[in-house]
Amino acid sequence: MTEISVIAVLEDPVRRRLYDFVSARGDEVSRNEAAQAAGIGRTLAAFHLDRLAAAGLVEVTFARPAGRSGPGAGRPAKLYRRTAVEHQVSVPPRDYRTAAELLAEVVDLTGAEPELQRSARSRGAASGRAARSQAPELPGDDLVTGALTAQGYQPYRDGADVRLRNCPFHVLASNHPPLICGMNLALLEGLLEGASAPGLSARLDPRPGECCVVLTPSKNNEY
């Protein structure tokens, strides 16, 4: 399948909803759960989930019902989960990844991380201010998770913390972790500042397959 035909699989709005639901979840999703989330029947959900799996947009695993094994345990249930594979299409062809790789290499070589972090912080602050001006009354936490969702981070609650399922800079971050994770932290610190969300603060706490930054409740309300 070419990249563009993989993306085309998402054109169907129902399939898109299912994809968004599965990819924003950290664990496996059953057909029933997905059907419920998308507001459709189980058979239709199964059809679309299998189309997503065939395109490689989600992965399939099988699980026996809990506590049952051996013959007579019933057919294992089909489960779906997000995949680590990423797809990128741009028309006409563009190659920002190579440019980003080269720039990252040069920042590494010249030691320009402090400048990168400064620029990232002010860009984050600008996007935080923009989000704040659109919703002046919204509580900080809601405003921040909304802005993060719009930027593709897939935030979710983990106790009092906000964690981010998706790293928007994944390939770059795996090749230049201190550089890109430091940039990302500065972007998010800036965003919190710009959004006037003093209830949260950002710090590095990487987890496998997720964004390296976690937002934790601030110990005090100073900024």
Partner 1 sequence: MTGYHLAELNIGTARAATDSPEMAGFMAGIVPVNALADAAPGFVWRLQDGDGPGATALRPCGPDIMVNMSVWENLESLRDFVYRSGPHLDFMRRRRAWFHPMAVPYLVLWWVPAGHIPGLDEALSRLDLLRREGPGPRAFTFRDPYPPPVPAEAADATL
| Options 56, 65, 152, 178; binder of partner 1; rule CB under 8 A | 178
Cα atoms in the Cβ-side hemisphere of radius 13 Å centred on 78: 13
3-class SS string, the chain: CCHHHHHHHHHCHHHHHHHHHHHCCCCCEEHHHHHHHHCCCHHHHHHHHHHHHHCCCEEEEEECCCCCCCCCCCCCEEEEEECCCCCCCCCCCCCHHHHHHHHHHHHHHHCCHHHHHHHHHHHHHHHHHHHHHHCCCCCHHHHHHHHHHHCCCCEEEECCEEEECCCCCHHHHHHCHHHHHHHHHHHHHHHHHHCCCCCEEEEECCCCCCCCEEEEECCCCCC
Which residues on adjacent β-strands are paired with residue 203? 214
> Quick check: 110 binds partner 1 (CB under 8 A)?
yes
Is the CB of 33 or the CB of 108 nearer to partner 1?
A: 108
Stretch that binds partner 1, among 26-34, 120-128, 155-163, 200-208 (CB under 8 A): 200-208
- CB of residue 211 vs partner 1: minimum separation in angstroms? 12
| Options 185, 195, 200, 215; binder of partner 1; rule CB under 8 A | 185
| Options 111, 159, 219, 222; binder of partner 1; rule CB under 8 A | 111
Is the CB of 29 or the CB of 120 nearer to partner 1?
A: 120
> Quick check: 109 binds partner 1 (CB under 8 A)?
yes
What gap in Å lies between CA 48 and CA 172, rounded to an integer? Answer: 32
Stretch that binds partner 1, among 90-98, 135-143, 156-164, 171-179 (CB under 8 A): 171-179
Which residues on adjacent β-strands are paired with residue 86? none
Is the CB of 116 or the CB of 138 nearer to partner 1?
A: 116
> Quick check: 201 binds partner 1 (CB under 8 A)?
no
> Quick check: 181 binds partner 1 (CB under 8 A)?
yes
Stretch that binds partner 1, among 5-13, 23-31, 134-142, 177-185 (CB under 8 A): 177-185
From the CB of residue 3, how many other CB atoms can be counted at a distance below 10 Å?
Answer: 12
The site map against partner 1 for 79-108 (x = CB under 8 A) is -----------------------------x
- CB of residue 223 vs partner 1: minimum separation in angstroms? 19
- CB of residue 178 vs partner 1: minimum separation in angstroms? 4
Binding site for partner 1 (CB under 8 A): 108-111, 113-114, 175, 177-178, 181-182, 185, 203-208, 212
